[in-house]
Chain A
Amino acid sequence: MMEVPSTATALGLILCHDCKRLNDARNLGAHGLCVRCGSRLHARKPESLARTWALTLTACLLYVPANVLPVMTVLMTGRSEADTILSGVKALLIGGMWPLALLVFFASITVPVLKLLVLIFLLLSVQMKSHWRPRERTVLYRLTETIGRWSMIDIFVIAILVALVQVGALATITAGPGAVAFGGVVVSTMLAAISFDPRLIWDAMEKPHEVD
């Protein structure tokens, strides 16, 4: 028989998401607010799976226009050229800036894809009540949560280029619709990671295996 670990839930306690104070679940006020910081208390993040799925799928959908549509248009001496995320990386590579090309490729392409795959994997593993390597899955979650913000690099590059290169017909850079979609991917994957509750991974460990 597996020993049942003493979790906050098993002890009738609720951990505040924001200030990490333990509250007595049976002695909550009318509004169920944390006695210390006033944040609304939930034993687990509310509707965690549904919200994370919705945000992850939104990000998946936005990923297509983010990579297909131009993120910016460079107008130079009458010639206009549309840049996508990938062609921006290619331009850096051709210019011989391969360390920077690698960095942008990692931040703008590898990170969002990996994040989406990891989120889908975590969601499925929780729904299948998987018992597989819970500690590694938790570490994977923490990594996903920390790394996501670095995908914003491309949005910032666009903001800076658009600010600087405004020399009329000689050289003008404008943002493109792909940038909106790409920003949407970054924001929705970040929100998805925030709404996922890693404790669900551990909750499944306390129940017998259902799916094999």
Chain B
Amino acid sequence: MSGPAAGTPQAPLLPEGRWTRAEIVFWLVPVAAFFLLPGHLVLGSQILIVGLFALSLDLILGYAGIVSLGHAAFFGIGAYAAGLLSVHGWGEPLSGLLVAGAVAALAGWACSFLVVRGNDLTRLMVTLGIGLLLFEAANKAAFITGGVDGLSGIETWKLLGLFGFDLHGRVAYLYALAVLFLLFVLMRRLAHSPFGLSLRGIREGAKRMPAIGAPVRKHQVRIYTIAAGIAGIAGALLAQTTQFVALDVLGFPRSAELLIMLVLGGAGMLYGALVGAAVFMVAQDWLSGVNPVYWQFWIGLLLVLIVLFGHGGIMGMLAAARSRWSRRR
């Protein structure tokens, strides 16, 4: 046994947050998928992008305990920022990502002051309200965003001036994977830092944290801003790789589905977000091909069952099974 799984809520911090073997194997999976499943790379890059988006929600929900029903707002802001930049003549992808992330982070920072005050219920309503507000704004401002028709005419230049985005999605896949991995390393570092620990403290007991000198509001504002920025980068990735921004990037269903993925995978352990996104997207791709209405029914049922019986999602169940197994030995 090489020690407990990294990042499970109960597990102690690993020394300096060292990478376990299981984690390295986990990250080899998407690399292997690139070579073994060349026909599914478009779906693959969607999974990577949504995984990044789910990670950003995990930061605020899983770590800091801030509930949100409108996280798609920042995803959409990032997507529109990158898309508009490209439509107006600047299609360089990396700087586009940075600009989109910065714009979304700024929006997140501004919204954070509305969100962090109040209890869970107020937060749910305020995030829901902000999300709907942006959706309606983007819908009505069709002269900028294209409204319901979506924003088309996005041209993404060659990556690093070398690799053009191809029809098979090979470059898009590797690009998304590289961005996801890089940001994951940063988020993992953040989760294992004193700041990350402090966030978990706030999640468990926001009233007691000031007593040990943790500035609760400041920490919440900071993590909300970071999460919004990362969601924006995920949105920008989607805009750049699909070269299109649909109005539904801002929609309520996207925020709700994101929550579902996170709860499905298990919140507060980073990997849960990735596993949840992958399982959700693959199941959606498979089942909604059969019938989209049935898909919605099953996802609803799954959600009810998770809430009633399956706390901790897939990763939580794995961790429980694992600890039972190791105790028996």
A and B assemble together: no
Name A residues whose Cβ lies closer than 8 Å to a Cβ of B: none
